[in-house]
Structure 1
Amino acid sequence: MVFASLEHMHKYCFVVTLGYLILCQITRVYVFDYGMYSADFTGPMMVITQKITSLAFEIHDGMYKKEGQLTPGQKYLAIRRMPSLLEYLSYNCNFMGILAGPTCSYNDYVAFIEGTCYQPRHQENANGRENGKCKQSEPSPKNDVIFKLCTCGVSLAIYLSLCKLLPVDRSIDDDFVSATPFYLQVVYLYLAMLALRPKYYFVWTFADAINNAAGFGFNGYNKDGSPRWDLISNLRILDIEFSTSFKSFLDNWNIQTSLWLKRVCYERSTINPTAATFLLSALWHGVYPGYYLTFLSGIAVTMAARSVRHNIRPYFLASDSHKCVYDVITWASTQIAVSYTVVPFVLLAVGSSLKFYRSWYFCLHITCILTVMVLPVKSRRRQTKEQQDKQSEHNSTDNNCNQKDKAT
């Protein structure tokens, strides 16, 4: 960051940090116990990798790019001066997020350290007024911390109660597969994944509560004047469990990592940003083959879900009853698709993952491929470009008409 040119510094940082993380993950997997996590030192490194790469891109945006080249989100995150060594280490190694994160932007962290994060973002929703102006007071995170700790307790209790009763690897047990009707296998897989998710709910909610207890995570005020403490929250449990689309599920799961992937890859990739983002996510998670099977499957599911939403959803928006039917169908489809896709992420090994997919006859993969072929959809960037071209043509036509009117 200090010695490289601002033009290419973010690329060097990205390659070096991600490469070093992958090297350490290879060491952990193939030198230490495979799948046993006996020396899982890479968890904190995954978070620090996110922070270093985010910082590099934000410095590049703030100190090299012109203002007009940045999106509104990039303008907010852009860093206008090189951080000092103390600021750099504080951001990467602060005690609240060193073990489990979640990651955060450098500007949000600096605002927390300097105390400017407590200024209300919307003056009319401030928590008090004084002499016609909003009173600046430091809100208390107590209620949110207590609520999140209670959520942690419930999540942990559910996980410890159900994880041994509903193991995912039973889905590849020969006796279970041969003796259980397929529809019951689908139900069991959904319940097994439902029992597994509270483990992540516990970890991420606990990490969020730790940051909130330290005063970090304030995100303005609600309309009723109550403070919001969800700036660096990593998940929305109800939105996950009742998601009606694959994208909605991913947007509410591991939120800060999704934002990192979007900011450093999706918004900047020039060739198939969806595939590039899923590939980066797999590389960041580790070197277990199951991760790559999951994220490669995720590309197909994402493209198929996008095609269905673009081509079929408009027909169900005519009435509330039709919309309700569509939501129920897409909720069930989303839960099945997510459960099917993430099985290799849990099993990790190639053999067991392919054994599971064979027992399901690769049905979701085939369905997704056929859906994309039958229901093509334009990429968002292409749609945006066409809309911009149409708008430019429209503006050009208006200008020509105005000039003719003036001449007349």
Structure 2
Amino acid sequence: MNFDDFVYLVFLIFSILFGQFYRQIENDDKKKKIGALVGFLIIFVVSNLHILHILITILVNALIILYIDKRFCHIISFIFSFSYLIFFRLTAYFDIPYPPSHTNLIQMILTLKLVGLAYEVNTGIKNARTQETDKSSEVLKLDIKDIFYYSFNYIGVLTGPYFKYKTFLEHLHRPFYKYDNPKKAAMEKVFPWIPIFSSIFLLTEYCWPIEYTQTEEFKTRSFLYRYWYIWPTFLNFRMRIYIGLLLSEVVCIMGGMGVYPVFCKSRPGHGPTENLDQLDEICKAESDLKITQYDYETVHSINFYGTELEPTLRQGMKNWNMTVQYWLATCIYKRFPNKQYRTFATMFVSGVWHGVHSGYYISVGMIPFGLIVEDIWVEILLSDEFYVPQKLGYIIMLFLKMQFFSYAALAFSLKDVTKIIHYYNLVYHWMIFFTIFMFRFGRYLVERKRKYLRNK
């Protein structure tokens, strides 16, 4: 474990422990001030003077959201926030010291929160003008202090998950956090998964370090070994993300963020989706609040069962970093004007958000092509009309999914284009040729199937 990971872990544990005190604060005004103060101190400790980037991002976005026409504020906020995010990562070219890696994490989640807030404001105004009654996107009444409290709140300030401003408001004003069972919910996240994932992470980090792919010794290994190496490195990558996201969820649970009654059928990132009138009514009846079941689906970031066991790329991605997936779907995919290119646009924005390293674009850029090929083979292997045994089709699709993800994730982990090309040269860019073959062969089989069905 490197030093940055250690610092990351320390602040996660601190935030979990602090949540036991934070959730006991009943005064809303005091609670949001203390939450913002603690978040500010965390940012200052890891960022020092680089906190200026955070302050600039919040202040400019606050001015955009409050004073720009609400019909366009979300577009202006998006352009500014992502432009500043790119500048933030290129400061060395302007003779400005490069920010610490943890400040980069803060800037990433802050970008989603502030752009997401602008979209919330735009949606609320749009619904009001069209007289739509959507309780999940009401007109927000904001001032600059509200935006600072939301931006600096310690929950998720360093690690995420993404949660809407409406979720932030309701964690202050709704009484649900007084009646749930946070310790039970937190223990279900921690045990046995964190010890298992940590053990696998440390083992793979020690036995199959990704830096080994750049050594002279690695070149002497057989082709099969060099290609197989993407499997343990991707396993290490997944374990690291699983640990961080699960602990981030525990921070939310202990702080009372994103807790709602089960009957609301909350979705990651979005919050409650059903029975919203009943949600208002139950807040007035303490006897009902005591017997109601609660969940934290609103801040649920990772479903590792789905990530590991769903047989397709599309399903796997939907279960990965789900609150960020929600933001991408809501703010980019659904709003992009050209349906033909919205998947590419969403993946491009995802790449920009993750960083300026070429490896992010190479990795994320592979996904749309993988989805095109996958859709063909879903029709072949997961369709009854092809008479492929269901279990066999599932196993083949699962293998292909993990193979593709592992190959793409290596570029994400190596980051630098020189290192990426060095590795891909060592395996002769096998996945590119394999994907082309699968596309052509899959199209042939599908055409034969359709011809058979027409003549049947």
The match for 2:295 is 228
Alignment of 1:310-321 (within 5 A): 310=379, 312-315=381-384
Describe the superposition over 1:138-168 as per-residue Cα deviations: whole angstroms up to 9, x where unpaired.
1111111123233334333332233121112
Change (3 A) 1:357 1:203: same
Asked if residue 205 in structure 1 is aligned to residue 246 in structure 2, the reply is yes
* 1:212-361 paired onto structure 2 within 5 Å: 212-221=253-262, 226-271=293-338, 272-310=341-379, 312-315=381-384, 322-361=389-428
Higher alpha-carbon deviation: 361-370 or 287-296: 361-370
Distance verdict in 2 for CA 1:372–1:219, change over 3 Å: farther
Aligned residues with identical type, % of pairs: 19
CA distance in 2, matches of 1:5, 1:226: 41
Does the aligned pair in 1 maintain the 2:381–2:397 contact within 8 Å? no
1:101 is aligned to 160
CA deviation vs aligned residue, 1:333-368 (integer Å, no higher than 9, x gap) = 111110001111101111111122222332323343
Structure 1 distance, partners of 2:172, 2:155, is: 12
Whether contact under 8 Å (2:204, 2:235) holds in the other structure is no
Of residues 116, 121, 124 in structure 2, which corresponds to 1:62? 124
- Relative to 1, partners in 2 of residues 1:310 and 1:113: Cα closer, same or farther, differing over 3 Å? farther
Tell me: CA distance 1:117–1:57, structure 2 relative to 1, closer, same or farther (3 Å). Answer: farther
Within a 5 Å distance, the mapping from 1:109-124 to structure 2 comes to 109-115=168-174
Is the partner of 1:7 in helix, strand or coil?
Answer: coil
Check conservation: 2:414, 2:420, Cα contact below 8 A.
yes
Measured at CA, do residues 345 and 316 of structure 1 come closer, stay the same or move farther in structure 2, by a change above 3 Å? Answer: farther
1:38-68 CA distances to partner (integer Å, 9 max, x unpaired)?
Answer: 5541111111110111111111111035677
In the TM superposition, what are the counterparts of 1:164-203 in structure 2 within 5 Å? Answer: 164-182=206-224, 184-203=225-244
Give the superposition deviation at 1:202. 1.5
Q: Please state whether the residue corresponding to 2:67 is helix, strand or coil.
A: coil
Equivalent position to 1:26, from 74, 90, 95: 90
Shift of 1:194: 0.9
Root mean square deviation, CA, Å: 3.0
Q: Which amino acid aligns with 1:83?
A: L
* Structure 1 position 69, deviation (Å): 10
> Equivalences for 1:11-90 in 2 at 5 Å?
11-27=75-91, 38-65=100-127, 75=134, 77-90=136-149
State the secondary structure of the residue aligned to 1:179: coil
Report if the CA contact (8 A) 1:278-1:296 is conserved. Answer: yes
The one-letter amino acid of 1:46's match is M
Which amino acid is the alignment partner of residue 208 of structure 1? E
Contact 2:190 2:247 in 1 (8 A): yes
Quick one: which amino acid aligns to residue 48 of structure 1?
A: L
- Contact 2:351–2:361, Cα closer than 8 Å, also in 1: yes
> Where does residue 29 of structure 2 map in the other structure?
none
Cα contact 1:239–1:249 (8 A) shared by 2? yes
CA distance in structure 2 between the aligned counterparts of 1:327 and 1:31, rounded to whole angstroms:
53
Residues 153 and 202, structure 1, Cα contact 8 Å, conserved in 2: no
Q: How much has 1:20 moved relative to structure 2?
A: 0.9
> Do the aligned partners of residues 305 and 266 (structure 1) sit closer, same or farther apart at CA in structure 2, a change above 3 Å counting?
same
Asked whether the 8 Å contact 1:242–1:331 carries over to 2, the reply is: yes
What are structure 2's unaligned runs of at least 5 residues? 1-64, 266-290, 444-456
Give the AA of the match of 2:79: V
Change in Cα spacing, 1:373 to 1:55, as seen in structure 2 (3 Å) is farther
TM-score by length of 2: 0.69
The 3 A distance-change label for structure 1 pair 316 and 144 is: farther
Partner of residue 154, structure 1: 196
Deviation at 1:203, TM superposition (A): 1.3
User: 1:30, 1:42 → 2: CA distance?
Assistant: 17
Distance 1:174 1:242, change over 3 A: farther
Change (3 A) 1:289 1:103: same
Quickly say closer, same or farther: Cα 1:202–1:3, change in 2 above 3 A: same
> Deviation string for 1:259-302 (max 9, x for gaps)?
11111100011231100001000111111111111111122112
Q: What is the CA–CA distance in structure 1 between the aligned matches of 2:77 and 2:138, rounded to whole Å?
A: 16
SS class of match (2:66) = coil
Whole-angstrom distance in 1 between the partners of 2:240 and 2:146: 33
Question: Judging changes above 3 Å, is the alpha-carbon distance between structure 1 residues 310 and 174 closer, same or farther for their aligned structure 2 residues?
Answer: farther
> Which residue does the alignment assign to 1:144?
185
Q: Deviations over 1:310-341 (max 9, x none)?
A: 4553147868xx11111111111111110001
1:171–1:189 Cα contact (<8 Å) kept: no
| More helix by percentage | 2
Unaligned runs of 5+ in 1: 119-136, 377-408
Corresponding residue for 1:364? 431
Between the aligned partners of 1:69 and 1:298, the Cα distance in structure 2 is: 39
Q: TM-score, normalised by structure 1?
A: 0.77
